[in-house]
Amino acid sequence: MRERILRSAAELFAEQPFDAVPMDDVAAAAGVGKGSVYRQFGSKEELYAAVVIDGFVALQAEIRRALVEPGSVRDRIAAVVRHTIGFFWSRRQFFLLLRDPKALQTQQEQQYRARRRELSRLVTDILNDGIRTREVPRSLDTRVAAEALLGMLRGINRYSRDYTDPERAVEVVTSIFFDGCVAKPAASALSRGN
């Protein structure tokens, strides 16, 4: 029953803002009574947090499956970017409530932060592999770089939907992350001393 409620709530929260989803609708979509929802989850906030935490688990499983195949650091980071943007593109309302995880109950806040750290650690590990294979400079602070990447992904999903699509967003984020956004001077201009 808990999984059915979580699935139904995830679908509803993905389509509408948190405040617009009545618990009656969650119960009806799950095929249970509203009391059953409240017995499993003490409040709508707890249910929402559980949906988000469950989402993190599903996203990480999806990313790990995609990373089974070996590839360059750039290819693996692009896979993380692609799956993360794709996952949240259709779940527009996720994380709007969790701007401040401290608003959650202590146990849920800890679960949320643990899942978030796992995702960051996954990116950090890829970048550390890149240092070992010399695809990434030794001087890179991989933890800061991982957080910068995750920040870009959050920003893209929250603010860029009106003028881009997921595939273009993946290309731009991956390019900025690895190549920067300032044009490098052409080799001929460098040789002329320009």
Cα separation, 126 vs 27, whole angstroms = 41
Q: Say whether both 24 and 75 belong to one domain.
A: no
6 and 58, same domain (yes or no): no
pLDDT at 194: 52
Q: Mean of the per-residue pLDDT values for the chain?
A: 86
pLDDT at 38 over 90: yes
Q: What is the pTM of this model?
A: 0.79
The arithmetic mean of pLDDT across residues 68-96, rounded, is 85
What is the token pair recorded at 127?
């970048």
Asked if residue 188 is part of any domain, the answer here is: no
Domain extent at residue 157: 44-180
pLDDT digits (tens, 9 = 90+) for 117-144: 999 999 999 999 999 999 999 999 999 9
Is 160 domain-assigned?
yes
Q: What is the CATH number of the domain that holds 16?
A: 1.10.10.60
- pLDDT on residue 68: 92
Confidence of residue 191 (pLDDT cuts 50, 70, 90): low
Q: Which residue has the tokens 């993360």?
A: 84
Length of the chain: 194
- SS (HEC) of 69-108: CCCCHHHHHHHHHHHHHHHHHCCCCCCCHHHCHHHCCHHH
4 lies in the same domain as 83: no
Handedness of CA 29, 166, 148, 123 (dihedral sign): positive
Evaluate whether residue 86 is within a structural domain.
yes
Contacts of 76 (CB under 8 A, 6+ apart): 67, 126, 129
**Helix ranges, 133-165 (H):** 142-159
The predicted model gives 158-169 an average pLDDT of 89
Examine the pLDDT at 155 and tell me if it is beyond 90: no
Looking at the 3D structure of the chain, how many domains does it have?
Answer: 2
SS3 category, 139: coil
Q: Say yes or no: 48 and 94 in one domain.
A: yes
- Cβ atoms of 166 and 95 within 8 Å: the answer is no
Q: Are 115 and 53 in contact (CB under 8 A)?
A: yes
Q: Are the C-beta atoms of 163 and 63 separated by less than 8 Å?
A: no
Give me the CATH number covering residue 96: 1.10.357.10
